[in-house]
Amino acid sequence: MVPRSSKILAVIVVFLIGLRLDLPLGITVGYLAAAALIPLWLPMLGRYRGALTLMLVGLVAVGSGIWLSALAAPTHVIAPGELAGNSIGLVGILFSFGFLLWARSVLPDPWVALWFGLGLLSGVTTDNERFFDNPWRFGFSFALTVVILAVAHILNRRWFDLLAVLGLTGLSMLTDARSSFAILLLTAILVAWQMRPTSRRRFLRSRSGAGVVVAIGVLAIVVYNLGQSAIVAGLFGEATRLRTVDQLNTAGSLILGGRPELAATASLMAHQPYGFGAGTLLNPTDVLAAKTGMASINYAPDNGYVENYMFGGNIELHSVLGDLWARFGIPGLVLAGVILFLVLRGVGAAVAVNRASGILLFLVVNTVWVFFFGPLYTAARLLILVLALVLIPKDSLTPKLRDRQWAGLRRFIRSKESLPRD
């Protein structure tokens, strides 16, 4: 029996982590709470596959970011605030993830997601200058989706899960949220896929987590192409169609046209493969390398965006992968690889046995998206929640192992039945 005090503590801290009350130097109230409770959640790292590896690689990456900044000092400006903020931010993600693993031991998974989502929802602000133009897209979209899908998971009705995802997909379509629409559409297809009738035993023996991940990748490509065709056909409205056509004509690809930071990242990786450091600011030579990459896809980089947003007092490459590499170097890349592997392995195992909830699928698909197309800062809470929910306990049985054990039990029973009786 879990003590009531443990449940109350879990609810409060999970809510605070989702809320993200910012303090100086990248610290949040939730991060402080998770750090203060290290003795509580630290033993949980040994109970989940990959959790300890993730924590150790992440802490090594923090050290690498500090070391790279020291190495860059003779040729670059080092911003102490950025150094502290980026380092503390990554440590906060790791510690918060550790606490949510412990929260899973005292609260059911959907309730962890719900309290986290309520924290997200309470933290929505109107500071974004585009909020009033589109409150759903630039304010409530992610938080409300987490809350609604967590409630659907608590109700444990697959049809409600599907209806919720489809409703959110339609809302994203009507509010010009192209990426949210694609993420939710893929989520809806995966939820519906698990509702089809099938022979459970035959299904388990013919599916693997790796095969599921490959199938999801193929499905994502199909959804991307269908979505692009629908936008170009004007189903999302004329403004969205014109913006999309312009990006296609400019870069030849909707992804590159909408995310020119990818070209800057690739160019900077070729320019300085080992990264820059958690507090390092790019010098003019580095900025020129980034602009050259962006110009190669016909993007005009001399528009103020590069100097003011991407490299104006920080390094922001608008992708989790790019930000981890730029700030923490090769260990940051390794950390990115570990995160992606754990997320894909977890969702592959869940889908293979038809047990992936809508909330888990949404979080995973969203994570893969921000991995390449979303800033680390805005993705921080998503990473905390998805990593905590997707990791597999070490004592859980894989479908194949479970089948083998049942087969062994049946053989044992038959052997006993065949023995001569007195």
Q: Output the pLDDT for position 275.
A: 96
Structure tokens at 251: 């870069």
Lowest mean pLDDT among 93-107, 328-342, 398-412: 398-412
pLDDT of residue 79: 96
Query: Is 414 part of any domain?
Result: no
d(CA 175, CA 179): 11
> How large is the average pLDDT for residues 267-288?
96
Note the pLDDT of residue 405.
41
Q: How many CB atoms lie within 10 A of CB 194?
A: 19
pLDDT score of 202 more than 70: no
Does residue 176 have a pLDDT over 80? no
Q: How far is 15 from 278, CA to CA, in rounded Å? A: 28
Angle, helices 4-19 vs 376-390, to 10°: value is 150
In a domain, 170, yes or no: yes
Range 221-225 average pLDDT? 74
3-state secondary structure (DSSP) of residue 125:
coil
Q: What is the dihedral of CA 22, 27, 28, 34, to 10 degrees?
A: 180
Is residue 406 pLDDT above 70, yes or no? no
**Confidence (pLDDT) at 236:** 66
* More confidently predicted of 228 and 400: 228
The parent domain of residue 300 ranges over 4-405
Which has the minimum average pLDDT: 302-316, 363-377, 406-420? Answer: 406-420
Mean pLDDT of 9-19: 97
Is the pLDDT reported for residue 117 higher than 60?
yes
In this prediction, residues 146-165 reach a mean pLDDT of 93
Mean pLDDT of the chain: 86
The confidence score (pLDDT) of residue 253 equals: 61
In this model, does residue 226 exceed pLDDT 50?
A: yes
C-alpha dist (Å) from residue 207 to 68, 251, 309 = 44, 38, 45
**Measured distance between the N- and C-terminal CA atoms of the chain, rounded to whole angstroms:** 46
415 in a domain, yes or no?
Answer: no
Amino acid 207: pLDDT: 54
pLDDT bucket at 205, cuts 50 / 70 / 90: very low
pLDDT at 416: 46
Does pLDDT of 421 surpass 70?
no
Are 46 and 56 in contact, with CB atoms under 8 Å apart? no
Going by pLDDT thresholds of 50, 70 and 90, the confidence category of residue 247 is low
Q: Is residue 226 part of a domain?
A: yes
Identify the pLDDT of residue 390: 95
pLDDT band of 269, cuts 50, 70, 90: very high
pLDDT of residue 38: 97
Residue 28 confidence class, pLDDT cut points 50, 70, 90: very high
- Choose between 201 and 352: higher pLDDT: 352
Residue 410 lies in a domain: no
How many separate domains does the chain show?
Answer: 1
Q: What mean pLDDT do residues 33-52 have?
A: 96
H helices within 125-193, ranges in order? 135, 141-155, 158-174, 178-193
The mean pLDDT value for 208-229 works out to 73
Q: According to the model, what pLDDT value does residue 181 have?
A: 86
Higher-confidence residue of 178 and 401: namely 178
pLDDT of residue 339: 97
Which run of H or E residues covers position 326? helix 320-352
pLDDT in tens, 119-133: 999 999 877 777 878
Average pLDDT, integer, range 78-107: 97
Is residue 26 over pLDDT 50? Answer: yes
In the numeric block, which tokens belong to residue 2?
């879990």
User: How many Å apart are CA 86 and CA 16, to the nearest integer?
Assistant: 20
